[in-house]
Amino acid sequence: MTPNTTERTAIHTRQVTCHGYERSDGLVDIEAEMRDISPTGTDLLFKQVLPGGAIHHMRIVVTVDRSLVIHDMKALIETGPTGHCTAIESAYAGLKGLQIRGGFRQQAKAIIGGVRGCTHLTELLGPLATTAMQTVMAIGRRERNGRWPGEGTGLMPKPVLIGSCHTYHEDGEAAKLLWPLHRRAPDAPVA
């Protein structure tokens, strides 16, 4: 990128942080946090935000198994633009039982989209889902101890990465390493 030499003033900062944790019971916790900061301060309908203050500070903690099925989900709005925001936190427990995989965000929006949820918490599900996948894959890589996922014998279910982006299209080189043709289970559910 070419550096911008025009004088600028920071008006808004959004920070999104996600962490993945392996639990002693074999499950995985993902914590996602989002803050909208007003460097200069601002007046909202229901409150004034001082310079450096948060307009939004929200968290989601989800517990998944190794197949990325949601066992528990909690949403917490620590700071919102109105006192009414926290009333929607419990709606996110309605995502229990969903699997984080292709189509997850669309399934989630059917449950907590629009007035059934919070725009910002729902947006946070994207980076949360990616962090869940990365965490589970990191655990799998550690457990394989250098072996390729496609090594071995027997049929394999379709790995969750297959079809997730152009690199992992079903006929591509990456897919052939992760899911060798001779090991593909016909009509297998996604693992």
Give the model's confidence band at 179: pLDDT under 50 very low, under 70 low, under 90 confident, else very high.
confident
Q: What is the pLDDT of residue 121?
A: 97
Query: 43 or 145: whose pLDDT is higher?
Result: 43
Question: How is the beta sheet containing 53-64 ordered, strand by strand?
Answer: 13-22, 28-38, 53-64, 70-79
Beta carbons within 8 Å of 66's beta carbon, 6+ residues apart:
26, 28, 136, 139, 140
* Cα angle 98, 123, 128; round to 5: 55
Q: What is the DSSP string of 32-80?
A: EEEEEEETT-EE-SS-EE-TTEEEEEEEEEEEE-TT-BEEEEEEEEEE-
Position 71 pLDDT exceeds 90: yes
- In this prediction, residue 185 carries a pLDDT of 85
Per-residue pLDDT, 87: 97
Q: Where are the domains of the chain?
A: 13-144, 149-191
User: What fold is seen in the domain 13-144?
Assistant: Enolase-like; domain 1 (3.30.390)
From the DSSP assignment, how many helices (H) and strands (E) are in the chain? 3, 6
Confidence tier at 102 by pLDDT (50, 70, 90): confident
- Percentage of the chain lying above the pLDDT 90 cut: 71
Summarize pLDDT for 103-160 with one digit per residue, the tens.
999 999 999 999 999 999 999 999 999 999 999 999 988 888 777 766 777 888 888 7
User: Which has the higher per-residue pLDDT, 96 or 175?
Assistant: 96
pLDDT, greater one: 15 or 142? 15
What is the model's pLDDT at position 186?
A: 80
Please report how the helices 104-112 and 119-144 are oriented relative to each other, as an axis angle in degrees rounded to 10: 150
What pLDDT does residue 79 have?
96
pTM: 0.85
